[in-house]
Structure 1
């Protein structure tokens, strides 16, 4: 007979038989370890407790051996801060607190941190039963530790599984990739579109087809010959400015040639002679034409104001009075066009 082994206690055998007969289960919740009071004990089916318990805690993992379906494998992880004794006996306890299975264990010293050296150790209890369906192994994830091997196995199983929640507008999750037909249709609201399919779907906008448009440059807007790009409000208004009043101006946008029209009143025209008058704003390129009319106050004779200088300047023009009749000075209404 093997030196190290486990067996069902009498209580465990009775509970298992009753569970099988009634279609119920035994619920295993804890694993206990002991030091045998200094010697290796022989497992006894009549035992109701270990010889000397040094630790009792919830189980960490529980599985059925894939190669031996009648074997139940229970594990408990001993953290580094637990120990200072030699493990010689183990047992499993059900939810009622009864010792269901018992076994001896190869003498293993579990050091503790205060001794200067320690380790995380896993204790494994393997129990053979006639019907594993009658045994439930309960693991409480809030109080137990997991071995690195167990975590890696669970992670690998999770990553390889496709049993994940679907993504929604508010929750992360998995999603299908849309086909090109679904992308083109634009009606599916549960699948993602790849960059390649989106590129295949996007079309150049025309007068009859919706699609993408490139924003025109200012030069294209000014030229007014491109029929495939879009004009933004900023570029459409580029170069427009105005000042409305008795003295004012209107500057048209660059795509209309940047034409500038200015008007203003000049009250310092002498009764005889010339006066240089300044515009509300200077022309950046050229002044084409300038016109002047007399605006003599009511009750006074027309002073006969006319304009000299058919080549007006960028910021001013020369006005002269053609007759000395009238008041000593006149008011002239002047219009200038340029760009």
Structure 2
């Protein structure tokens, strides 16, 4: 007999025979490795556990040997972060946790990175059974680690295949290069255009012909005399600002002259007194004009005899003084609107 081999345990033989007789299956879910207690063991069909199990985990892949239809090949990948022991024995367990097959293994030390060297290692368990249809191998995709050979094979097959999804506006995918006729027609949304074909198609957009447009500069937008460039939302809104309330302002865009309107409701300090209106925002250049109106409130009709006006020489980019006079000036309310740019 070969030095290294696997065999069904007594429990495994009984479960397999029962499954064949009843047309059922046994489900293999896990593979375990052990160090044999320090020496290479001889597989024992009466075993119910490994001599000294060091790791058990779900199986990664399972196949039937193409050259030997009665051989089941179970595989597990040991990641770099497990190890620090020598593999000498191996076993497979079913969904009930019973040891179904056991075998010895060529002594192989599995290092970990902390020891100065590490690797990903694949362990295979080959088991011969009388009826492979009676054995189901359960692979959990959430814990599977792929070997490098498996990844390379799958990648080669994928790259050689032309069975790839088509690209859409919502998902990446494959696309065919459009012909020049398709590019010119502009009605096919399933192909992409190369720079060469696009260059042959490029033309200036007009009111009646689709084509390319250059983005206008802010100066061109403000001037308003260029009819061959495109205005972006950012440049169209450039300079627009506002704040609405009892005190507030609205600033027009630069292409509308950049005018700024600001307003407030103020209460006079008294007869022959200046009340300062501090603008919500500073005028970039300065104030142009303003409007004042007295509000007839607590002082009733007496307020109508009071007077308010802009105090000449006090206008600036940030404020203006408003002069009030009259015996009932103290506390009268008035509205003020100023215009600048």
| TM-score for the superposition, normalised by structure 1 | 0.53
- Alignment coverage as a number of residue pairs: 218
Which stretch of the first structure deviates more once superposed, 59-68 or 85-94? Answer: 59-68
Distance in 1, Cα, partners of 2:212 & 2:151: 52
Offset from partner CA, 1:7-49 (integer Å, 9 cap, x none) = 2223323333444455544332211011222222222223221
Cα root mean square deviation, aligned? 3.6
Distance in 1, Cα, partners of 2:84 & 2:191: 57
Which stretch of the first structure deviates more once superposed, 165-174 or 70-79? Answer: 70-79
What is the aligned partner in structure 2 of residue 271 from structure 1?
Answer: none
Residue 109 (structure 1) shift:
2.5
Q: Is the 8 A contact 1:166 1:175 kept in 2?
A: yes
Distance in 1, Cα, partners of 2:113 & 2:199: 61
Q: Is the 8 A contact 1:203 1:210 kept in 2?
A: no
Quickly say closer, same or farther: Cα 1:183–1:55, change in 2 above 3 A: same
Q: Is the 8 A contact 1:11 1:98 kept in 2?
A: yes
Distance in 2, Cα, partners of 1:68 & 1:79: 29
Q: Is the 8 A contact 1:27 1:94 kept in 2?
A: yes
Q: Is the 8 A contact 1:203 1:211 kept in 2?
A: no
Distance in 2, Cα, partners of 1:35 & 1:193: 62
Look at both structures and tell me which one has the larger radius of gyration over its CA atoms.
Answer: 1
Q: Is the 8 A contact 1:31 1:59 kept in 2?
A: yes
Query: Which structure 2 residue ranges, 5 or more long, are not aligned?
Result: 215-224, 230-341
Distance in 2, Cα, partners of 1:116 & 1:76: 23
Offset from partner CA, 1:157-213 (integer Å, 9 cap, x none) = 32223333332210112234456676566554434445566667x4989xxx96768
What is the aligned partner in structure 1 of residue 87 from structure 2?
Answer: 87
Secondary structure of the residue that 2:41 maps to in structure 1? Answer: coil
Secondary structure of the residue that 1:140 maps to in structure 2? Answer: coil
Secondary structure of the residue that 2:158 maps to in structure 1? Answer: helix
| TM-score for the superposition, normalised by structure 2 | 0.52
Quickly say closer, same or farther: Cα 1:183–1:26, change in 2 above 3 A: farther
What is the aligned partner in structure 2 of residue 169 from structure 1?
Answer: 169
Query: Which structure 1 residue ranges, 5 or more long, are not aligned?
Result: 216-230, 236-339
What is the aligned partner in structure 1 of residue 77 from structure 2?
Answer: 77
